[in-house]
Amino acid sequence: MSEKKSSLLLKNGRLIDAGQNLDGKFDIFLVDGKVKEVASDLDVVADQVIDLDGLWVLPGAIDLHVHLREPGYEYKETILSGAEAAVAGGFTSIACMANTYPINDNAAVTRFILEQARSAPAKVLPIAAISKGMQGEVLVEMGDLVEAGAVAFSDDGKTVPNSKLLRHALEYASLFDKPLLCHCQDDALFADGVIHEGMISAGHGLAGIPSLAEEIDIARTIMLAEYLKVSVHICHLSSRGGVELVRAAKARGVRVTAEATPHHLFLDERAVVDLAYREALDETVKPSMLCYNTNSKMSPPLRAAEDVAALRQALAEGTIDVVATDHAPHEATEKAVEYSLAPFGVIGLETALALALRLVQEGDLTLLQMVARMSLAPAAILGLDDRGTLAPGMAADLMIVDPEREWVVDPAKFQSKARNTPFTGWRLKGRVIKTIVDGRVVFSS
Amino acid sequence: MPQMNENRVCESQEMGRILARIAAEIVARNKGCQKLALVGILTRGVCLARRLQEIIRETFGQELSLGVLDITLYRDDLSRATHHPVLRKTEIPFSLDGATVVLVDDVLYTGRTVRAAMDGLIDFGRPQSIQLAVLVDRGCRELPISADYIGVEVPASPQDRVMVRVAESDGFDLVTVTPRSAFQGE
Amino acid sequence: MGFRRKDLLGTRDLSAVEIRTLLESAESFKEIAERPLKKVPALRGKTVVNLFFEPSTRTRTSFEIAAKRLSADAVNISASTSSVVKGESLVDTVDNIQAMAPDIIVVRHKFVGAAHLIAERIGASVVNAGDGANEHPTQALLDLLTISEHKKLEPGLTVAIIGDIAHSRVARSNIWALTTLGITVRVCAPPTMLPRGLEEIAGVRVCRRPEEALEGADVVMMLRIQLERQDRLLFPSVRDYARIFGLNRQRLELACPDAIVMHPGPMNRGVEITSEVADGKHSVILNQVSNGVALRMAVLFLLGGQGRE
């Protein structure tokens, strides 16, 4: 009885699932929030049948790097609004960083986040801080936090400058098989920089952040992981040099994984003055500022065109394991200021999938590779063994995509509270039309 | 080049005679004047003022000072001008205080240019008097201004185009009136 | 043709024609300073707001005099007297000023892009009077005007710019304007104050030592060194800087015999330039100041005297 009540049959869709290495027309039978069966021409009785002719079925995307701002900065984003943005973009699980107020450095905050997330349409996974108050001085109570539900540790937004502390964090986290997600940045070299140190900073007098600021810290982080024989994950790779460090480490057998964001895969430093992209914009939706647009400001910064090319290549070959959004909501007035005063960060949950599809359209990735980077790999890094693929027995977390649907990025239509995207006015192809979490339709356009 | 359907009012020879007459009138009227000066309004007014200066020097043996005035900064239609103003250099290399100044321009029309020119002149000093010499008076005044020396009177409607060309800037001397119908559809 | 912009935000995107139009207009305005009655009615009834978020008596005064000589009403708003200090955002401040319907806003701000932010937001014309280390277009144009009094502004001319290039909006605006006119630009700075890659993006020659930059130069532009930069590990000491990069008589002899020496002011005498050179026969530093008024009159006139109703 109960099985019948909550069963759903998805017929005739094209399933693209890296975990099962499947790409073809399959019917998918979902029962009680889990995948029951995947086969051609399934003949089963289901409570509800959806015909997906011409549409794609992908495992729900998993974002291991978002900022949900709650508690503390609910005016920027809440767990609920962030989760709504997630499912609108095909993400069924999102891992939220610790830099809230108060900081998620103790079990009470972790439990609060999970409590708030109970009514959210996506699965929200709290990431705890590495150090208390993200001050880089004392380790958080990792055991307590893992018990409360933390899936990973990160001081994202900041590096852990003390190498001894970082060493101990890596050692201690390995006890729980929880990954450390490292924001790599040498603070002294970063200094008061606001954009990539390159042709735009030189020409426009904006303080530069050299690639070196990131690379030196990536090297340090990799060396620690290598020495300790533990795994580590590098957040938001942005430079060619960073890619090369990760590639070489992987070749040596170091257990390092890495992510790249859609904005680093599509934009370079010229976006700061909008030289490269103005013509591609849709006339009906234009960013409020074309020059020194603060939605081009994030950390790490948009780098040179050659860095973008290196990131794309690294994503294709697997040096970069994951596409993560680093969804960083800010209120409009916070961004409507002088470039140097604007906060770092852009949102990405509602544009990531279409941009990832564009990588496929542009020939940089295969569809299966894209699905691996969006779902399978992030699940593996976070140790989530019930999702990331739609094999029988896995959670029924998936998205239905209309691959032909063309749309223009219009922040006014976002589910997120925030509007700070650098992709305003972009024409994209491929859109999520339904998102299903635990067998339940949580988003439908 | 001159157009087919424009009416030629006067050509080079005629223009020379007219300027000679104006020069004589200026000298006659200002007999005994110690500080007599010519100020041309840019661009063609300056060419005409130079010619008058030359005629007066050769015919009457008098050397008059010559000034150049750009009235752009004194125009009353700056904010309504559809074209973008080009500023040229004003040069008044003598004192205007107590001088008798003959303003020289090619065409007298609404009177606004002359109004602006008088404002401009007065910023440079306090002339004893200002007189006005024009090659063509085409009527249709919008301000209470009249010329002291007139080359030719050419009654024309505001739609007509009156053009003065001078050898110095146009390669030849010619005054033409082109009726409205001639350039309709431009 | 001519100059048909709403704003003057920088020299980077000005064409050679636009630069020459501005310089020719400024040339005509020089004469007004010599009149007994230094005022023309061109901008009568127009309001020029000098919005200065950074103190600068010179530039502000220069714009103020320029506006007043054009008969505009000039209003000065400085950060210390406005609500800026009370935590109001730039956008709020600008919205408030816009509500008072000014025609031209002259903006000085310590951060890059502030003038652009304002210009995109409001209908009034905006003149960038310095945004961070980015641009200071009227300074560069008045420098060009000053050079043109002594040298022909055309290919073949060599200009040496020496000092803290990385943090200098004067250097950047000059580099863009000079290179647009095809003029050879050499820059020289301590390596800590030289933006990486400037050679490729700006088409200038980077010289390691001032001697190399000065060799045969027609124009020598010295930049003000910000003494507080010492604390930021950019140079060891004022004494060391003066010794290696300062312009003195001996060094100036390397330049061409009729070279002119410029400085945007205010000078640190004895640091980037010795008094002997600053006050010497090659110096045109005071001409720069008087040309500043004429140049700014031209800019205000060309922006404010056009029909955009």
pLDDT band at C309 (very low <50, low <70, confident <90, very high): very low
DSSP secondary structure letters along A412-424:
GG-SSS----TTT
As a whole number, the mean pLDDT across chain C is 91
As a whole number, the mean pLDDT across chain A is 95
Q: Which of A128-132, B69-73, C247-251 has the lowest mean pLDDT?
A: B69-73
- Asked whether the beta carbons of residue A199 and residue C200 sit closer than 8 angstroms, the reply is yes
Q: Residues C166, C275: one domain?
A: yes
- Asked whether the beta carbons of residue A288 and residue C132 sit closer than 8 angstroms, the reply is no
Enclosing domain of residue A297: 60-389
**Res C270 pLDDT > 80:** yes
Q: Residues C66, C111: one domain?
A: yes
Q: Residues C111, C176: one domain?
A: no
What local confidence, expressed as pLDDT, does residue C307 receive?
43
Inform me whether the C-beta atom of residue C195 falls under 8 Å from chain A C-beta atoms. yes
Q: What is the mean pLDDT of residues C233-246?
A: 89
Q: What is the pLDDT of residues B65-85, one digit of tens each?
A: 999 999 988 887 665 544 556
Of the candidates C225, C229, C187, the one whose C-alpha atom is nearest the C-alpha of residue C208 is C187
Contact A133, A103 (CB under 8 A): yes
Contact B162, B140 (CB under 8 A): no
Distance of residue C24 Cα from the nearest chain B Cα, in angstroms: 8
| CB-defined contacts B:C, below 8 A | 60
H or E element, residue C184: strand C184-188
Name chain C contacts of A338, Cβ cutoff 8 Å: 90, 109, 111-114, 117
What local confidence, expressed as pLDDT, does residue C169 receive?
96
**Is A398 domain-assigned?**
no
- Asked whether the beta carbons of residue B90 and residue C41 sit closer than 8 angstroms, the reply is no
**Is A442 domain-assigned?**
no
Burial of A132-158, coded b for 16+ CB within 10 Å and e otherwise, reads: eebebeebbebeebbebbbbbbbbbbb
Inform me whether the C-beta atom of residue C209 falls under 8 Å from chain B C-beta atoms. no
Which tokens is B32 given? 């005994």
Q: What is the pLDDT of residues A411-425, one digit of tens each?
A: 999 999 999 999 999
Name chain A contacts of C135, Cβ cutoff 8 Å: 205
DSSP conformational letter for A327: B
What local confidence, expressed as pLDDT, does residue B180 receive?
73
- Asked whether the beta carbons of residue C120 and residue A290 sit closer than 8 angstroms, the reply is yes
**Is A432 domain-assigned?**
no
Contact A137, A109 (CB under 8 A): no
Q: What is the mean pLDDT of residues C149-156?
A: 97
Q: What is the mean pLDDT of residues A370-383?
A: 98
Contact A148, A111 (CB under 8 A): yes
Inform me whether the C-beta atom of residue C298 falls under 8 Å from chain B C-beta atoms. yes
Neighbours of A180 (CB within 10 A): 26
pLDDT band at B3 (very low <50, low <70, confident <90, very high): low
**Res A277 pLDDT > 70:** no
User: Which subunits sit against C, judged by 3+ Cβ pairs under 8 A?
Assistant: A, B
What local confidence, expressed as pLDDT, does residue B7 receive?
85
Query: What is the C-alpha end-to-end distance of chain C, expressed in Å?
Result: 21
Q: What is the pLDDT of residues A195-228, one digit of tens each?
A: 999 999 999 999 999 999 999 999 999 999 999 9
User: Which subunits sit against B, judged by 3+ Cβ pairs under 8 A?
Assistant: C
Of the candidates C253, C190, C186, the one whose C-alpha atom is nearest the C-alpha of residue C221 is C186
Inform me whether the C-beta atom of residue C91 falls under 8 Å from chain A C-beta atoms. yes
Q: Residues C229, C258: one domain?
A: yes
Q: What is the mean pLDDT of residues C257-271?
A: 95
Enclosing domain of residue C105: 16-135+290-304
What local confidence, expressed as pLDDT, does residue A193 receive?
97
Amino acid in position A7: S
Q: Do chains B and C touch (3 or more CB pairs under 8 A)?
A: yes
Query: How many structural domains are present in chain C?
Result: 2
- Asked whether the beta carbons of residue C35 and residue B88 sit closer than 8 angstroms, the reply is no
DSSP secondary structure letters along chain B:
---TTPEEEEEHHHHHHHHHHHHHHHHHHTTT-SSEEEEEETTHHHHHHHHHHHHHHHHH----EEEEE--GGG-S-GGG-SSPP-----B--S--TT-EEEEEEEEESSSHHHHHHHHHHHHT---SEEEEEEEEE----SSS---SEEEEE----TTSEEEEE-HHHHSS-EEEEE-GGGGTT-
DSSP secondary structure letters along C78-131:
ETTTSGGGGT--HHHHHHHHHTT--SEEEEEESSTTHHHHHHHH-SSEEEEEEE
- Asked whether the beta carbons of residue C298 and residue B72 sit closer than 8 angstroms, the reply is no
Residue in chain C lying closest to B76 (CA): C42
Which tokens is B132 given? 């006005």
Q: What is the pLDDT of residues A38-77, one digit of tens each?
A: 999 999 999 999 999 999 999 999 999 999 999 999 999 9
Q: Collapse the DSSP code of A96 into the 3-class scheme (helix H, G, I; strand E, B; otherwise coil) and give the result.
A: strand
Neighbours of A343 (CB within 10 A): 16
pLDDT band at B87 (very low <50, low <70, confident <90, very high): confident
Inform me whether the C-beta atom of residue B109 falls under 8 Å from chain C C-beta atoms. no
What local confidence, expressed as pLDDT, does residue C36 receive?
82
Question: What CATH number is associated with residue A338?
Answer: 3.20.20.140
**Is A378 domain-assigned?**
yes
Question: What CATH number is associated with residue C248?
Answer: 3.40.50.1370
Which tokens is A77 given? 């984003």
Residue in chain C lying closest to A289 (CA): C120
CA distance B7 to B136: 14
ipTM over 0.90: yes
Q: Interior CA angle at A105 toward A99 and A108, to 5°?
A: 110
Name chain C contacts of A292, Cβ cutoff 8 Å: 112-113, 116-117
Q: What is the pLDDT of residues A298-323, one digit of tens each?
A: 999 999 999 999 999 999 999 999 99
What local confidence, expressed as pLDDT, does residue A123 receive?
98
DSSP secondary structure letters along A39-73:
ETT-----SEEEE-TT-EEEEPEEEEEE---TTT-
How large a percentage of chain B has pLDDT more than 70?
89
Q: Which of residues 1-40 of C touch B (CB under 8 A)?
A: 1-4, 21, 24-25, 27-29, 31, 35-37, 39-40
DSSP conformational letter for A251: H
Inform me whether the C-beta atom of residue B96 falls under 8 Å from chain C C-beta atoms. no
**Res C218 pLDDT > 50:** yes
Residues of A belonging to the active site:
326
Of the candidates A417, A441, A435, A424, the one whose C-alpha atom is nearest the C-alpha of residue A68 is A417
Backbone angles phi, psi at C260, to 5 degrees: -110, 150
Inform me whether the C-beta atom of residue B70 falls under 8 Å from chain C C-beta atoms. yes
Most B CBs within 10 Å, among C31, C295, C309, to test the B interface? C31
**Is A317 domain-assigned?**
yes
- Asked whether the beta carbons of residue C172 and residue A208 sit closer than 8 angstroms, the reply is no
Q: Which CATH class is domain B12-75+89-159?
A: alpha beta
**Is C266 domain-assigned?**
yes
**Res B45 pLDDT > 70:** yes
Q: What is the pLDDT of residues C179-210, one digit of tens each?
A: 999 999 999 999 999 998 899 989 999 999 99
Q: What is the pLDDT of residues C57-66, one digit of tens each?
A: 899 999 999 9
As a whole number, the mean pLDDT across chain B is 88
Contact A180, A170 (CB under 8 A): yes
Inform me whether the C-beta atom of residue C229 falls under 8 Å from chain A C-beta atoms. no
**Is A428 domain-assigned?**
no
Q: Residues C165, C240: one domain?
A: yes
Q: What is the mean pLDDT of residues A316-340?
A: 96
CA distance C70 to B154: 37
User: Domains of chain B: which residue ranges?
Assistant: 12-75+89-159
Query: How many structural domains are present in chain A?
Result: 1
How large a percentage of chain C has pLDDT more than 90?
75
- Asked whether the beta carbons of residue C116 and residue A292 sit closer than 8 angstroms, the reply is yes
- Asked whether the beta carbons of residue A202 and residue C111 sit closer than 8 angstroms, the reply is no
What local confidence, expressed as pLDDT, does residue C1 receive?
46
pLDDT band at B184 (very low <50, low <70, confident <90, very high): low
**Res C281 pLDDT > 60:** yes
Q: Do chains A and C touch (3 or more CB pairs under 8 A)?
A: yes
pLDDT band at A2 (very low <50, low <70, confident <90, very high): very low
Most C CBs within 10 Å, among B71, B78, B80, to test the C interface? B78
